[in-house]
Amino acid sequence: MNATASHQPLTRSVEDYLKAIYRLSPEGRPAATSDIARLLDLSAPSVSGMVKRLSELGFLEHIPYKGVQLTDAGRRAALRMVRRHRLLEAYLVQFLAYGWDTVHVEAERLEHAVSDTLVERMAAALGHPVVDPHGDPIPGPDGSIHEPASTPLAGVEIGETVEIRRVDESEPERLRYLALLGLVPGVVLTVLDRQPFGGPVTVESAGERHSIGAELAQVVLVAAGDER
């Protein structure tokens, strides 16, 4: 790894790339450059150039015919940004009355500007939370992260009672709709019915029944049985 680069402050662009690659590589699987381009809304040549640069700096490893993987240094840098982002979301919701549907964009703007000292003071003010408002785990200051077991609501068996653990944060309208139904992380629900061929899932929570479309049921992650 380039020793000089490892001690220099990272640019906003580098931080965005590392965070995006972390998101696209669950369980350490390689991330395709085409997926990185799509997520960051950039051209393929731009992504290829940055991927080469990050590899030279020691943040990425290229896996032939599969994509790129974060090195240990790349993963540490990515998790530092993930921690900043998710703590900002939690702080904005708890102390500044932001909605969970608007906080993601605001945190994207702020995560590059706040200092590590401010981030840790926010963590302390929040009581050192382990998840953000969408249920995503917040990495520790040492770069550790615990990813609780979860499964899409769409795959839960009829009659099973589960707890909502995480909800994808990328679509504000979807978040507003789920909040309107009261289906947010921490809520317990029972699956009453699931229609075949991609049909809706019917759930009951707090005495109310809701019909959840198949697409939405794929991005609502729940904990089942002894995984809760």
pLDDT tens-digit series, residues 174-225 = 999 999 999 999 999 999 999 988 899 999 999 999 999 999 999 999 997 5
Is residue 50 within 8 A of residue 73, CB to CB? The reply is no
Assigned domain for 174 exists: yes
Assigned domain for 96 exists: no
The CATH number that applies at residue 37 is 1.10.10.10
Assigned domain for 99 exists: no
Instruction: Point out the domain boundary residue: 55, 70, 85.
Output: 70
Percent pLDDT > 70 in the chain is: 95
The CATH number that applies at residue 181 is 2.30.30.90
133: which DSSP letter? T
Q: Per-residue pLDDT averaged across 100-106, rounded?
A: 94
Predicted pLDDT of residue 170: 83
Assigned domain for 90 exists: no
| 3 state SS of 146 | coil
C-alpha torsion angle, residues 34, 149, 119, 82 (rounded to 10): -10
Assigned domain for 191 exists: yes
Assigned domain for 175 exists: yes
Assigned domain for 30 exists: yes
Assigned domain for 195 exists: yes
Q: Count of domains in the chain?
A: 2
**What is the rounded distance in angstroms from the CA atom of residue 23 to the CA atom of residue 82?**
9
Question: What's the domain range around 180?
Answer: 151-227
Instruction: Point out the domain boundary residue: 70, 89, 110.
Output: 70
| pLDDT beyond 90 at 26 | no
